[in-house]
Copies of this chain bind each other. A is one copy, B any other.
Amino acid sequence: MKERKIPLDLNCGLDLLGVVLFGKWKIRLLWFIDQGHKRPSELQRKIPDASRRVLNIQLKELEEHELISKVIYPVVPPKVEYSLTEFGKTLIPIIGDLGSWGDENQERLRKLISAS
């Protein structure tokens, strides 16, 4: 974590949630891990638009924030598995709602976005 020049505001729950959840791929990572895609390479294939680098960074942040846990198997080639912690699981229903809202309004949203 780099030093921030402008400190984060942490006034309310929303700020706190934002710190742990709002990264370009974090929500998706949690979602896919919940669905049983545990290994980094699997996740990268699931999210091909993300760069490996950033995926790794965000996985590490999720781990630091105790939303996921990591098991490293001492084998060759290396094998790593992530899974949701109990804490992380509490976010899944919310993430589900977010995705559903987007899906349900998909058509409308696409029009609105392409217009801008």
Majority-rule SS of A interface residues: helix
Q: Contact partner of A102 among B14, B97, B106, CB < 8 A?
A: B14
Q: Contact partner of A101 among B8, B17, B101, B104, CB < 8 A?
A: B17
Bits for A74-91, please: 1 = Cβ < 8 Å to B, else 0: 000000000000010011
Number of copies: 2
- Give the A interface residue count (CB, 8 A): 44
Decide: A101 near B105, CB < 8 A? Known: A9-B49, A16-B113, A22-B22: no
Offer 8 A-B interface pairs, CB within 8 angstroms, sorted by A.
A10-B110, A13-B101, A13-B106, A14-B31, A14-B102, A17-B99, A66-B108, A87-B108
Could you list 5 further interchain pairs (A-B, Cβ under 8 angstroms) beyond the known A11-B49, A13-B104, A17-B109? A14-B99, A16-B106, A17-B101, A22-B22, A66-B112
Decide: A10 near B113, CB < 8 A? Known: A16-B106, A108-B87: yes
- In the assembled complex, the Cα of A110 lies from the Cα of B105 at a distance in Å of 34
- In the assembled complex, the Cα of A95 lies from the Cα of B110 at a distance in Å of 21
